[in-house]
Every structure is written in C-alpha cells, then in structure tokens.
A and B are shown apart, each in its own frame.
Chain A
Amino acid sequence: MPLKRINSAAAIAVLAAALATPSLAAEPAGAPVADFTLANGLELVVIPDHRAPVVTHMIWYKVGAADETAGKSGLAHFLEHLMFKGTAKNPTGHFSQVVASVGGQENAFTTNDYTAFYQRVPSEKLKTAMEFEADRMTGLQLTDQVVLPERDVILEEQNQRVANNPRARLGEQIDAALFLNHPYGKPVIGWRHEMEQLSRDDAIGFYRRFYAPNDAVVVIAGDVEPETARKLAEETYGKVARHNNILPRQRPQEPPPVAVRSLTLADPRVEQPVMQRAYLVPSFHTAKPGQSEAIEVLAHILGSGSNSRLYRALVVDKPVAVMAGASYDSFAFDMSKFGVFGVPHPGVSLPQLETETDTVIANVIAHGVSAEELERAKFRMIADAVYAQDNQVSMARWYGSAIMTGATVNDVRHWPDRIREVTVEQVQDAARQWLDKQRSVTGYLIKDVSPQAEKKS
C-alpha cells in the first residue's frame, strides 16, 4: 500500500483537528516545509521536526532502472551498490565508518524512477553527511577488485528477492507482460543474464551521465532550520559543478492497451496458488487533475483491509478466498499500476476466484460506492497521513518520491484536500474507465507437477 502522508510534524495538530470534525472540513496545513534551489541546480527540501536532535538526510537522483539502456538491466541498482566503494578523498568504507561512529544509520534504494541514499545522524553531523555525499556525487572511483565481488552480491540479492520466491517471479512476469514498450516492464534488480555481464565501465558511464547536482534533490527531515540547511548545503554541495548535458526523462511510452492478457507461472515450490492482476492506469504525474486521487480512493474501498469490497465479498461472505485485496501507487513518473490479488480457498480454482473477483469489480463499475464507504475511506486515508508524520523517515521518503516522480512540494502539501474533494461519481468513473480488462494482465501462480520440475530451477 502506498503510504500517504501530509506535511511536517508541526502540522499534525492542525490536521487532526480537521479530521476530528465529522465533516472532514478542509484545513490547509500551512507547514513550514522549505523548498529552494542552489545556483548549481540542486534542489533542497527541508522538513523541520525538532522532537529529537537527529536529522534524516537523503539525496535523490532522478535516475532509475527505467533510464537504463537496453541490454543493461540492473545497472541503476548496481551503481547504487557501487556508490559505497569510495572516492579519492574518502576510500572504501570511510563514509560508513564515520556514520557508524556517531551511531548513525545509512542505506540506499533504487526504483524504476530514482536512486536515493540516506543517513540518519545527530543534527550536528548534518554537514559531515553533506560533505560525503557531495564528494561521491562526482568523485567515485571504481576498480574491478571492488566491482566484481559486488556484482556477485547483486546476483545473490536477485536470488534472495526473486529466484527463491515464486510470488516475486510471478510479479516480474506480470510487469513484463503489462508494459509492452515502456522500460517499467524490466525488473529493477535486472534480468540475471544481463546482470552477469555488467561491468565497471557500464557503471562509470551511467554515473557520469546522470549523477549531478542539477539532476538531484536533497530532502532533510529533522532538527534543522531551513536557513541553516541552506548555508551548509552551499558550503558542500554548492561547490559541485552543474552538468550541462542532463536530458529530460523521455522513456518510450505505452501504446493503448487492446488485449486482455493472462499468463500462468508453474513452479514446483508453489504450495499456495495465487491470482494476481495489474491494470495499466495513470500515475499522479500522468493523470488529469483529480483522477489519481479517485483511483487511490477506489483502491482503498475495493481492497484495503477487512472492510473492503474484495475482502468482504471473497473472504467473508462467499468465501472463495483466504485473502484478497487491491493496491495502487500514484507515484510513478510515467504510467502506473492498479493491482488486485486473491489467494483461493482450498478447493476453489483460480478461474473460479477470478470470476468472483470480476463480479465484485463489475458491481463497483455498475453501481458505484456508497457515500458512507467514501467517507470512511477518506477519513482513514487522511488519518494514515497524520500517523505517518510521527516518523521522520516516512516524511522524507514521501516528499522525495513525490518530487522524483514529477510532483511538487505543494502537490504533497495539498494531498489531503484533494482526497477530500473526491466524489462517489469520480470513484465510479475511475472504476469504469480504468478497471477494464483490456488494460490488464492476470497472472496465475500454480504448482508445477511435471516430472521435469526438479530440473527447472
């Protein structure tokens, strides 16, 4: 489920007060989130939160797996790993050592649309973290001695996340079938045969092409004032030169989907079959105003939690499933996915479960949702946003992933208002327009019982 949050911790009180009123009155939360850009093009977002003397410092690069050249799948993520291998100024491990010595945490993550690195450190170490990140923005040094073992690490990561996990394998196949032309169809971790060939030169070439201040956003949540953050950023990041050849992200786009697609993955380890479907739908970035918010509400009513349509119909009332739900992530630079899944009850076949699932969806398309369902969903979604503000990392990730996928700080700030404006008609329209099977791929995960099954993995 995409985590949706609003504004900074300082706005919690205001928002909760708004929530408490039965009418869910709109109450724009004027949070002091600062957003500014340095002379070299680096954007900074500062979310002050002074409850504890710590900061979460994240640098987000506007480059992800969807920006890899053909044949180099997994390269964006591989480079993420290699970014920890040191620079001329700070040899391998030095940055991590300094972070650890102050009790800090660090990590990094890669998706289709972005690559991000972060540290959580005591507030007085913010400048140190910025110095290190500014240094490795252009100073990375790689040798085969560190690159080759790390390639083995990402191959083990692929084993752990995907090869050893039949449900993850099904997910890869659905994405590959859903996106006919767009690179979102490739796994972020990569296809193994291509990962095995990734080289030092591939990584350095990708790095030089995309890592630059004017292709990055720094998000800082925590115990710092925006003016202080700006000063520290100018002294560190400000010294890195702008890259003059960063091109806007233009990936091959999807043609209109015209075929109902279905696929079956048989794996000898499957003890619990699963039906999973993905529809091609707009993201916040590609949608018309209000569209993606209606889809978010639709996903909540249809498939979030035990009051949802799918759970009640398929798990409680019939029951044909032991579990069922739906999901939607509005944060993608290009088109996004609306997911539906069900785990069948013993004795129920996947086609039966699919038919029952279609009935639930058809009912929402034909009759819409009730006003009560709509209000409950909105209340719950906005309350999740209030709760999430208790968590600095969630806040930084929310702003970061929004900006990386084409939204602005203001878009994030006004998300609760836009959710409040969604009507029952819009939810029904969203279901009618987007939950069309021609836009979808349905995947079955079943047990492979063929005699050769032993050899396949």
Chain B
Amino acid sequence: MTRFLAAAALAALALLAGASAASAMQIEKIVSPSGIEAWLVREQSAPLVALNFAFHGGSTQDEPEKSGTANLAADLLDEGAGDLDGKTYHERLENHAIELGFQVVRDYFHGSLRTLNEHRDEAFDLLRLALSAPHFDADAIERVRGQVMSSLQRETTSPNSLASNRWWETAFPGHPYGRESKGVLETVPRITADDMRDYVRRAFARNELTISIVGDIDAKTAGALIDRAFAGLPAKNDLKPVANASPSGLGRRIVINLDVPQAVVNFGGQGLARNDPDFIAGYIVNHILAGGTFSSRLYKEVREKRGLAYGVSDSLVWFRRAAVLIGTTATRADRTADALGIVEAETKRMAANGPTADELAAAKSFLKGSYALSLDTSGKIAAQLTQIQIDNLGIDYIERRGGLIDAVSIEDARRVAKRLYSGGMLVTVAGRPIGLTSSGTE
C-alpha cells in the first residue's frame, strides 16, 4: 500500500531534463563504421551496457482490420530467430543474464537491452537475429496470440481499459492514434505470419533509427557493437504516412455502464506538440494544475480536502502527428459527479487566471531539481537519450533545459493556461456514476 499511486494507464511521459547531474554527464555523438549514428554516455562505475533504440513506425503501421500486428510481431521476435529455436534463444539469454525487451507504441518500435560487459558480443548477436531473422513459427504465433487475446478478454470488463479505450477511439475516430497498439478481440485473430514479416521488413531499417548506449564502453567498441546488431538491416524503411490529427469529441461526456464499486474517469483535450514554442510553459502550468505530486491543485481539491479519490492527475502526451492532454481519477459512484465537477471547475479557473507567481516559482524549482532523480540508472539515462533524439531536442538539450524553464514568465504561464484549458474536455466514465449520463454530440 502506498500513499500515492501515479496514474498508470497514461502514455509514458518523457521527463523534461536539465539540472546538476545533467551537466556532469557527457553525451558523445558517435558514428559506427557502417555509418549508423548513436549517442553514447560512458558510465564506468558498473560493468554493464544498457542499449535503448527506436525505429519509426509503431502501431500506426497496422492495417485497421489487423490492428495489433506490430505488437504481436514484437512479442514474437525472441521466440526463435536465425538458427536458434525459441527454447534455445531464451536459454541463451538466461545463461548470459541478458535482458532484452521490445515495445510497440503508436509512433515507434522501442527496444532495450541490458548485458554484463563480458557477454555483450553474444547480446548484440542475439539482438541481430531477433531483428533480422525472426522465425514467426506457427506454434509460437498461436501461443503468443493466445496471451494477447487472454489479456484483451480480461480488459473487456476492466473499468480502466474501458474508459481509456473509449477516450482514445472517440478522440481519434478512424485514425491510427484512436486504436490501441495491442489490437482488439476482432483484429488479433486475423494477423498472419506474413503480416508480421511485412511489418518487420517495412519498419526495421537503418534510416530513422535512434540509438542510445550507456555503459562502461568506448566509442570504437560501441560502434562495432552497433554494426553487429544493426548494419545488416535495409538502408531505408518503407512506412505508411500518418495524417495530422486533433482530438475530437471535446465537450462530450460518455458513460459506459459497468457494475463496479468505483467509477473510473478519463478526461482531457487538445495538448501541445513537443516542438511547440509554448510546450515548456504548458508543461509547467500542467504540473501546477494536475502533475503527479502531492502539491497539485487537483490533488489538494479532490483528494486532500474532500477525500474523493486516491489519485487524480493528468499529463501532456505528444505524438508525431497529434498532441493531447489526458488525465484520470477514480471515485465511488455517489461522488463521481462531485469529483468531475471539481476537475472541470479547477481547469476553468486555471484557464481564466493562470497560476500564481508563487506556484510558478515552486513548479520551476521542482521541475529543475527533480531532473537528477530521473537520470539515476543506466537504463533510465539510455531511455531518456532516445526520447531526446526522437523529439529532436538536440544533444545540448539537457544543459539548456534549466534555462528554458527559467525563461517562462508569469505572463507566458497565464497565456498558455488559457490556450491549454479553454478548448473543452472529452470525458469518459466507466462504472455506475450516480447522476452522470452521457451528454454532448459528436
């Protein structure tokens, strides 16, 4: 039991970076012998190598009637590749204590690898096999498909999944951002080995490949390892374009009837693109309204003063072609309307008046100071470097970040608060909230 549980269902939010520990960290841009770029941080206190990488093109590449293809492919890459069957592949990983993981999100295919220095050649060889010669054997497909179906089946009565899925499909109807990366019960059974091979062929390529390495390793060795895993991939990917989109359904409230004691609420609207000049100001203002700490306005009003919920928070979430603000809370049925009313009133108040000067100063101080804590393990550093690269923030971003935060004035904060919170919200509720019904039109 913990005092505070951060909203888990939201898309991972890259932390804004920039403080003391940051300036001590040297990021080196390296180029492998075959010409692949990567960012390297030499961290000699541990005999480990942490690799993080991303290809462009995640579940946006799925055919709508076969949504879940990229996700299923990712789950199958370590189930047999090259001359190794699935059992042997897994044994090799375990025998060398190599940790290898793949994850598909809407815009990207992410990979991470962690190995002891002694086994790094083996680790990068196993990664190469997974990326370039996955088997997609029939028995493995059925096994992994069964696992995905089992979890989708379970989600059909989960209030968190129901509220979240409905939010996204209403916000982005007919657009790949409206579909869950995992797919749905109807589409996952249709996915074939050829569909997955097609995805791998189109997405796994050397262009639009982002790589970050952290560990006790020099540039030359790192370059050789990168080539070991990635040099054999095609030079160029072949991705379907994704259209720009804005969330729709703002002003609507959708209630999904489900017999649970606690109603789960998702709320949100238009966000800010990561390259929007107002992004940093928006991030600060949102931290003040609903960031995941004990001091946000929503936390104080909804939880601390009234005891309406265990958690309440929202986050800016950005994609390559859209940006949203999405939050969540969960309350008992007879007080769901109260909790939602407070969220709406506080959002309006922030839009009208912005934060106070004291709140702004405290938020800046928190966001600058908390950076060191977000970069305290090799794996976290590697993941953060990948995020900075795919967001095009520049190799000096970590040093610049503190200045960017300091530059936000109270006028900026008020202006951006108005911009961010005036557009209306789409609300989805799963449960039996008393006195709340669906409202608004498409």
Q: Taking beta carbons and an 8 Å cutoff, which residues of A are in contact with B?
A: 9, 12-13, 16-17, 19-20, 51-54, 77, 80-81, 84, 93, 96-97, 100-111, 120, 122, 148-157, 159-161, 163-164, 188-189, 268-272, 305-307, 312, 315-316, 319, 322-323, 343, 345-346, 376, 379-380, 383-384, 386-387, 389-392, 454, 457
Count residues of B near A (Cβ-Cβ below 8 Å).
Answer: 74
Interface of B, helix, strand, loop or mixed by DSSP: mixed
Known A156-B330, A315-B143: A164·B159 in contact at CB below 8 Å: yes
Question: Are B153 and A122 in touch, CB under 8 angstroms?
Answer: no
Residues of B within 8 A of A271 (CB): 153-157
Residues of A within 8 A of B5 (CB): 157, 160
Chain B min CB distance to A136 (Å): 13
Instruction: Judge whether B103 is part of the interface by a CB distance below 8 angstroms.
Output: no
Which of A52, A102, A457 touches B376 (beta carbons < 8 Å)? A52
Question: Are A53 and B366 in touch, CB under 8 angstroms?
Answer: no
Instruction: Judge whether B306 is part of the interface by a CB distance below 8 angstroms.
Output: yes
Residues of B within 8 A of A153 (CB): 303, 307, 309-310
- How far is it, in angstroms, between the C-alpha of A323 and the C-alpha of B303 when the chains are bound? 37
Known A323-B150, A343-B150, A383-B116: A390·B378 in contact at CB below 8 Å: yes
Which of B94, B116, B153, B366 touches A100 (beta carbons < 8 Å)? B366
Q: Taking beta carbons and an 8 Å cutoff, which residues of B are in contact with A?
A: 1-5, 19-21, 43, 45-48, 86-87, 90-91, 94-95, 97, 99, 114, 116-118, 143, 146-147, 149-151, 153-159, 258-262, 264, 293-295, 303-311, 330-332, 362, 365-373, 375-379
Question: Are A386 and B370 in touch, CB under 8 angstroms?
Answer: no
Question: Are B370 and A107 in touch, CB under 8 angstroms?
Answer: no
- How far is it, in angstroms, between the C-alpha of A104 and the C-alpha of B293 when the chains are bound? 10
Question: Are B3 and A103 in touch, CB under 8 angstroms?
Answer: no
Chain A min CB distance to B332 (Å): 6
- How far is it, in angstroms, between the C-alpha of A219 and the C-alpha of B150 when the chains are bound? 41
Chain B min CB distance to A253 (Å): 24
Residues of A within 8 A of B149 (CB): 322, 346
9 closest cross-chain pairs (CB), A and B: A103-B369, A152-B307, A383-B97, A149-B307, A159-B262, A103-B370, A269-B157, A157-B310, A272-B154
Residues of B within 8 A of A270 (CB): 157
Chain A min CB distance to B75 (Å): 11
Question: Are A319 and B143 in touch, CB under 8 angstroms?
Answer: yes
Question: Are B372 and A77 in touch, CB under 8 angstroms?
Answer: no
Max chain A C-beta neighbours (<10 A), residue from B1, B4, B159, B305: B1
Residues of A within 8 A of B155 (CB): 271
Which of A9, A54, A312 touches B373 (beta carbons < 8 Å)? A54
- How far is it, in angstroms, between the C-alpha of A13 and the C-alpha of B43 when the chains are bound? 12
Residues of B within 8 A of A312 (CB): 87
- How far is it, in angstroms, between the C-alpha of A108 and the C-alpha of B2 when the chains are bound? 5
Chain B min CB distance to A45 (Å): 19
- How far is it, in angstroms, between the C-alpha of A270 and the C-alpha of B156 when the chains are bound? 9
Enumerate 29 A-B pairs (CB-CB under 8 Å) in ascending A order: A16-B47, A20-B118, A51-B43, A52-B21, A54-B21, A54-B376, A84-B3, A96-B294, A96-B295, A100-B293, A100-B362, A102-B365, A103-B365, A107-B4, A109-B2, A149-B307, A152-B306, A152-B308, A156-B309, A156-B331, A159-B332, A160-B310, A160-B311, A164-B264, A271-B154, A272-B150, A322-B147, A384-B97, A457-B259
A49 to B, closest residue via Cβ: B45
Question: Are A105 and B373 in touch, CB under 8 angstroms?
Answer: yes
A65 to B, closest residue via Cβ: B1
- How far is it, in angstroms, between the C-alpha of A380 and the C-alpha of B48 when the chains are bound? 15
Question: Are A391 and B2 in touch, CB under 8 angstroms?
Answer: no
- How far is it, in angstroms, between the C-alpha of A77 and the C-alpha of B99 when the chains are bound? 35
Residues of B within 8 A of A376 (CB): 91, 94-95
Which of B48, B116, B331, B362 touches A97 (beta carbons < 8 Å)? B362
- How far is it, in angstroms, between the C-alpha of A150 and the C-alpha of B261 when the chains are bound? 19
Chain B min CB distance to A250 (Å): 23
Residues of A within 8 A of B259 (CB): 268-269, 454, 457
Residues of B within 8 A of A108 (CB): 2-3
